[in-house]
Structure 1
Amino acid sequence: MSVSPAFPNTHADRPQRGWYKRNEIAITPWLFLLPAMIFFAIYVIFPIGQSFWISFHEWDGLGEKTWVGTANYERLLGWGDANVDRKFSVSFWNNLKWLVLYLLAIPAGLFIALFLNQTVTGIRFYKSMFFFPFVISQVVVGLVFSWFYLPREGLLNAILGFFGAGPINVLGDPTLATYGIIAAGLWPQTAYCMILYLTGLNAVDPEQVEAARLDGAKGPKMLWYVILPQLKPATFIAFVVTIIGALRSFDLISVMTNGGPFGSTRVLSFYMFEESLSEFGFRMGYGAAIAVILFFIMLGFITYFLYAMYRDEKGAH
């Protein structure tokens, strides 16, 4: 007479799970990310690679491509016997001006956010007024500042006339036009940085602030040693977005000066458009070479900030 075991072999009777079931936790997140990764590869990675490839050719965008090697880069940068493209050098230095001055939006946005984070009568009205530039189109911003800078009817010259100063033609003066456009761009960019910092201030640990107050910290010391370290993620995003905005500043220039006067307000993105798609260009290879150089400048800045943030995070741990 056989006796059934007290503990049946339930493991042997259990059905074997499939490969997906065994790796479900590891695989499921990638399945959700897959559509975004496919779109990113098609609309970002592939066009970047295509730009690199086109930059080594002479091409009008319609006919056959002609391989020219590094000739487009030699002409741009003045390698070998070629002279540096004067339009490229003007665009490059204008981009540096944009980069340096556009970064003023970050401290300006921070101080406006610190003000709006206080308990002040009518604070909602102030927030909406400071938020307003962010929601309007860059084209509208360009038109508004074009009217603001008008030599005779503009509000700027009316204000200067009130104080006894002579009228100035900001957008008609090659030495002032670039700075006038940058000032127009700083208006919505400051509002964007303000929003980032307002969001970051909501995440500041109140216990750390209270402990710092008990230790006697206030004013600039409180800001530097307690508030700003907790705003590093917002600062990083503000730097990256501001740098990208400065390097791709096309729409304001197109609306306000169209690269003039005398080409003095060109930047790399606008010069790329002129060479590739405007009536004066249709040199897709040359425009792609400009785009590649602009890409490496942008990549260099972003890589530096990513490394700096990684180093700070590693040091904190």
Structure 2
Amino acid sequence: MTDIAFPAARPRNSFFRRNRLVIMPLLFIAPAFGMFSLFVIYPIAQSIALSFIEWQGIGPKKWIGFQNYIMLFNDPVFWKSLVNNIYWLVLFLLAPVIGLFVALYLNQKVFGIRLIKSLFFFPFVVSQVVVGLVFTWFYDPAFGLIATILKPLGLQLPSILASEDWATFGVITAGLWPQTAYCMILYLTGLNSVNPEMVEAARLDGAKGWNLLVKIVLPQLRAATFIAIVVTVIGALRSFDLVAIMTEGGPYNSSNVLAFYMYDNAIFRYRVGYAAAIATILFLIMDIYIVWFLMRLLKNEKGTR
């Protein structure tokens, strides 16, 4: 009888089998990570690199090191824009508070509440451009809605968007309208998950009004509150649309913000390197907040385990 040679059996303890729990997730993540690297990480790195050169958008590039940042920190318009961003950040935090109370009001079973909900939801689906145009008309001292209401009372509305003292706050007020609607939606969703048995038990124990809200309802809305604050802070830091529509940073750069100042330098002043330096500073500010947000998120996840 002739010996029949059989192929050697593949070793079961192969490299892939030993590391499949690591390799398989990486294979699934690789396409998304490739797209993220191409469209997010590479542009960020390119923008940071541009902040160290002098370039008009066309022609040769000139390496100038940290000169853009030195000019930036000596630029009064940059500091004014940064201060305005802080105003946006502080005043925008009113949106979660107002959104919470609006959601509490709308979370009732009364006649016509769906119509009222749709009216409060309306600002969220409207474009920022439309919001800016509507509020520009509101603030018009001659033909605007507010001026029309005040005229019979013998009061005259100042030109808010033409005032260096009030232009920023007028734009922020316009931004609060859709942002409050978004926070309201988050809280309405969160109120649907509030345990009614806990609320009834607290009422039987004599809790009502403010005590019921603070001690029973708000702890169950912690996730909605966290998301509302995160989205609101990011929205305040990247504010651009309303400034561009309503004031274009004026009058005399009094309502400028970092995002619009970056856009103005890159598109109209042909200072691409300088604009990239502004973008890098804004990126670092947002990075600090994102790191804090991720640390809080990980801490909360560990606490719930």
TM-score by length of 1: 0.86
Q: How many residues align?
A: 298
Residue from 71, 88, 95 that aligns with 1:75: 71
Per-residue deviation, 1:19: 6.6
Q: Deviations over 1:169-214 (max 9, x none)?
A: 1111111111111111111010011111111111222333233233
- Aligned partners of 2:104, 2:267: CA distance in 1, in Å? 44
Per-residue deviation, 1:25: 6.4
Residue from 34, 37, 42 that aligns with 1:41: 37
Change (3 A) 1:23 1:230: farther
After the TM superposition, which residues 293-304 of structure 1 pair with which residues of structure 2 at under 5 Å, given as runs? Answer: 293-304=281-292
Per-residue deviation, 1:306: 3.5
1:7 paired residue number: none
Contact 2:198 2:216 in 1 (8 A): yes
- Which sections of structure 1, spanning at least 5 residues, go unmatched? 1-12, 78-83
1:306 paired residue number: 294
After the TM superposition, which residues 181-200 of structure 1 pair with which residues of structure 2 at under 5 Å, given as runs? Answer: 181-200=171-190
Contact 1:243 1:298 in 2 (8 A): no
- Aligned partners of 1:57, 1:305: CA distance in 2, in Å? 32
Contact 1:236 1:305 in 2 (8 A): no
Residue from 55, 60, 81 that aligns with 1:91: 81
Per-residue deviation, 1:97: 0.7
Corresponding position: 1:144 with 2:134: yes
- Which sections of structure 2, spanning at least 5 residues, go unmatched? 1-8
Q: Partner of 1:186: helix, strand, or coil?
A: helix
Change (3 A) 1:200 1:24: farther
1:81 paired residue number: none
Contact 2:141 2:156 in 1 (8 A): no
Which deviates more, 307-316 or 51-60? 307-316
Per-residue deviation, 1:225: 1.6
1:80 paired residue number: none
2:225 paired residue number: 235
Q: Partner of 1:171: helix, strand, or coil?
A: helix
- Aligned partners of 1:312, 1:211: CA distance in 2, in Å? 27
Residue from 215, 225, 228 that aligns with 2:215: 225
Per-residue deviation, 1:215: 2.9
Change (3 A) 1:70 1:156: same
Q: Deviations over 1:69-123 (max 9, x none)?
A: 111111111xxxxxx2011111111111111111111101111111111112111
Change (3 A) 1:19 1:312: closer
Q: Partner of 1:263: helix, strand, or coil?
A: coil
- Aligned partners of 1:96, 1:243: CA distance in 2, in Å? 10
- Aligned partners of 2:12, 2:300: CA distance in 1, in Å? 47
- Aligned partners of 1:23, 1:124: CA distance in 2, in Å? 54
What's the RMSD between the two structures over aligned residues?
2.4
Residue from 253, 256, 260 that aligns with 1:270: 260
Q: Deviations over 1:271-291 (max 9, x none)?
A: 00011112xx11111101101
Residue from 201, 204, 210 that aligns with 1:214: 204
2:153 paired residue number: 163
- Aligned partners of 1:20, 1:120: CA distance in 2, in Å? 62
Contact 1:72 1:289 in 2 (8 A): yes
Change (3 A) 1:108 1:30: farther
Residue from 99, 111, 118 that aligns with 2:108: 118
Contact 2:95 2:180 in 1 (8 A): yes
After the TM superposition, which residues 237-256 of structure 1 pair with which residues of structure 2 at under 5 Å, given as runs? Answer: 237-256=227-246
Which deviates more, 205-214 or 58-67? 205-214
Contact 1:236 1:309 in 2 (8 A): no
Per-residue deviation, 1:61: 2.1
Q: What residue identity is the alignment partner of 1:307?
A: M
Question: Percent identity over the alignment?
Answer: 57
After the TM superposition, which residues 3-14 of structure 1 pair with which residues of structure 2 at under 5 Å, given as runs? Answer: none
Contact 1:151 1:157 in 2 (8 A): yes
Per-residue deviation, 1:15: 9.8
Q: What residue identity is the alignment partner of 2:234?
A: I
Contact 2:48 2:276 in 1 (8 A): yes
- Aligned partners of 1:194, 1:229: CA distance in 2, in Å? 17
Change (3 A) 1:125 1:72: same
Q: What residue identity is the alignment partner of 1:298?
A: M
Contact 1:95 1:268 in 2 (8 A): yes
Q: What residue identity is the alignment partner of 1:205?
A: N
- Aligned partners of 2:119, 2:23: CA distance in 1, in Å? 46
Per-residue deviation, 1:295: 1.1
Contact 2:53 2:65 in 1 (8 A): yes
1:58 paired residue number: 54
TM-score by length of 2: 0.89
1:290 paired residue number: 278
- Aligned partners of 1:123, 1:14: CA distance in 2, in Å? 68
- Aligned partners of 1:150, 1:208: CA distance in 2, in Å? 50
